[in-house]
């Protein structure tokens, strides 16, 4: 089992920045089984959507078109980050950290085994 705990959310004005963190814990074997970690978000009244992911082998990153050029995912198997710059009101959502041990991971929720409880990000005008 892997536990994920997000932090770093808050209230920021449009154009500002926030950095989210996700701490992963569990047995070493479980942590080492994680191949991909990512961020999803869910705005009020909307479905949870993919934001970004990183594959630990090779370090390849993927982003949703809506955040490309503004958000950066980074970290290691113990701590995942999401640097969010040039924030917009439409970025307001609960942000979730997720981890997957699958060999091939897509940008969909079902490919992720573990989830954090979420952290609220609110962007005001």
Which tens digits make up the pLDDT trace of 48-85? 999 999 999 899 999 999 999 999 999 998 999 999 99
Residue 57 forms beta bridges with which residues? none
Residue 91, classed as helix, strand or coil, is helix
Q: How far is CA 61 from CA 50, 75, 83, in A?
A: 13, 11, 13
Q: How far is CA 69 from CA 5, 61, 78, 84, in A?
A: 25, 12, 25, 10
Which tens digits make up the pLDDT trace of 94-121? 999 999 999 899 999 999 999 999 999 9
Residue 110, classed as helix, strand or coil, is helix
* Structural Rg of the chain based on CA atoms: 14
Place of tokens 């994680």: 34
CB neighbours of residue 22 within 10 Å: 25
């Amino acid at each position: 089992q892997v536990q994920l705990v997000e932090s770093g959310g808050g209230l920021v004005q449009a154009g500002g920045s926030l950095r989210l963190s996700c701490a992963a814990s569990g047995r070493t074997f479980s942590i080492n089984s994680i191949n991909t970690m990512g961020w999803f978000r869910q705005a009020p009244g909307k479905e949870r959507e993919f934001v970004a992911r990183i594959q630990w082998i090779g370090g390849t990153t993927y982003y949703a078109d809506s955040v490309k050029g503004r958000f950066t995912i980074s970290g290691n198997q113990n701590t995942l980050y999401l640097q969010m710059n040039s924030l917009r009101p439409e970025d307001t959502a609960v942000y979730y950290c997720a981890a997957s041990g699958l060999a091939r991971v897509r940008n969909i929720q079902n490919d992720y085994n573990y989830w954090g409880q979420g952290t609220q990000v609110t962007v005001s005008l």
